[in-house]
Chains A and B, each alone.
Chain A
Amino acid sequence: MRADVLVIGGGSAGLAAAVSAARQGARTVLVERHGMLGGMGTASLVHTFCGLYLIDGDSPEFANDGLPREIAGRMEAATGRGPVKMGRVWVLPQHPVDFATIADELIREAGVERLFHSELISLEPGWRARVVCRGESFEIESASVIDASGDAVAAALLDVPDERTPSERLQRPAYVCGVQGVSGEVSGLELAGRIVEGIRAGFLPKSAMGMHFRASGRPGEIFGTLDLTGEETGSYDPTDPACLSALESTGREHARQVVSYFKDHQPGWENAYVAHWPARAGVRESRRWVGEACLTGDEILSGARHDDDVALASWPLELRETNRGPKLRYPDGGEAAGIPAGALRARGFERLFVAGRCLSCDHDAQASIRVMGTCFATGEAAGRMATT
């Protein structure tokens, strides 16, 4: 199989990268391990697009035109819900089911050749990639490669050094599930109090503290989100299958316990049930690429701009180094910083680009650029860079 552009990973960045490259006329192949695109926004049920809009706006103003605006427009049309202001930032509530079908439409219209249920297993400069689907492997030759895997999978397979935050400071993972059968309004504060009551009474584990709920916008449907420490089996390592496995089973166990406690103790929840589990827990940070440039948290906080900027980072540093809620750090003056092209170019290789949460940046900057709205923008930029 031959391609002009091979995109590894079909999350928000890979989706945008593939659509953007294909729209430039490139023969584009997209390799995705799940049966749908959207990554964290579909497989992990993360139901909010952050980073689409400028900080502090009186009205929602897009930080990046192009695919971020286009995808947001399609999502608003699908859900009938517009942007919401939360503190100093605007976010767009999104539904994972709609996101998966919007992604299907986008790649069909753009003519992207997608390979679902497939994983990259080797990569050689040139570029020759080997991809496996259910035990059968095959080769893809491509002029350019975009690593939008989220975990810098291409760096690991090329055996080059990557950047990695020490385990204890890694952003913590989140577990999101869908709940049905709840009647009446959802009061997040009341539910928060109820969870504490459940912990006090010995019905719920202490780690259930922090589980919070938000209406999905569909009748009777609620998303429950639980931030985990990731330390269920020792130190947190989002590339270790034992650690990832514990995340999944712990997430399910705690979420089931909370919903079960609410059935007996929370008015309106008598008929509640967990309607769906995510395909995987949501990972916020793992490996990052070493690029020609490295975007820093200080640059985000000072609203720095560069000559070769390809996108704007308009989300604050959202630090989640513990599972006890986010710490937000806003840029002085609220100005969005530029993400330079060099942060999307892998150092030491020709025609190898990076997009999404594993692009070249430090731990603090990653706490801003990892969000889906920004991933659309860096993906789109990488798709353009790979075709010029």
Chain B
Amino acid sequence: MVDCAVDDVLRMLGEEQLIELPSDAGAETDLFAAGLDSMAVMQLIVVLEERWGVVLGAADVGRDTLGTPGRMAATINARR
């Protein structure tokens, strides 16, 4: 299975329009500062499951797991 890259996460965030990504978004962009709130997180969890088969629950949601595209990619790769 090919690893999920930061670019894959950025593409997903753009396509799903869960938040307004800054144009210079990269691995270290703070997604919570960009508008990722509890409402968007619920949809994000569903999207991650649909796209990558990663099943996240209440214990897995936080800044350290989903706070930046880099951390999100790492979480996806660790949980697949």
Contacts and interface: CB of A to CB of B under 8 A. Distances in A.
Given A189-B41, A325-B37, 8 more contacts: A87-B35, A190-B62, A193-B56, A193-B57, A194-B57, A197-B58, A266-B58, A328-B35
Interface of A: 87, 188-197, 200, 209-210, 212-213, 227, 266, 324-325, 327-328
A193 B37 contact: no
Nearest to B65: A189
Given A327-B20, A328-B20, A328-B35, A193 B41 contact: yes
B67 to A, nearest CB: 10
Given A87-B33, A266-B58, A192 B20 contact: no
Contacts of B33: 87
B58 A188 contact: no
Contact of A191 (B18, B55, B58, B60): B58
A197 B45 CA distance: 10
Nearest to A188: B38
Contacts of B62: 189-190
Q: Which 3 A-B pairs have the closest CB atoms?
A: A193-B58, A188-B38, A193-B61
Contacts of B78: none
Given A325-B18, A328-B20, A192 B39 contact: yes
B26 to A, nearest CB: 19
A229 to B, nearest CB: 14
Nearest to A196: B45
9 contacts: A189-B62, A190-B62, A192-B61, A193-B42, A193-B57, A196-B45, A197-B57, A209-B43, A325-B37
Nearest to B34: A87
B2 interface: no
Interface of B: 17-18, 20, 33, 35, 37-43, 45-46, 55-62
Contacts of A200: 55
Contacts of B59: 190, 193
A190 B58 contact: yes
Contact of B61 (A190, A209, A266, A327): A190
Contacts of B61: 189-190, 192-193
A24 B55 CA distance: 62
A257 to B, nearest CB: 15
B56 to A, nearest CB: 7
Contacts of A210: 39, 42
Given A325-B18, A328-B20, A196 B57 contact: yes
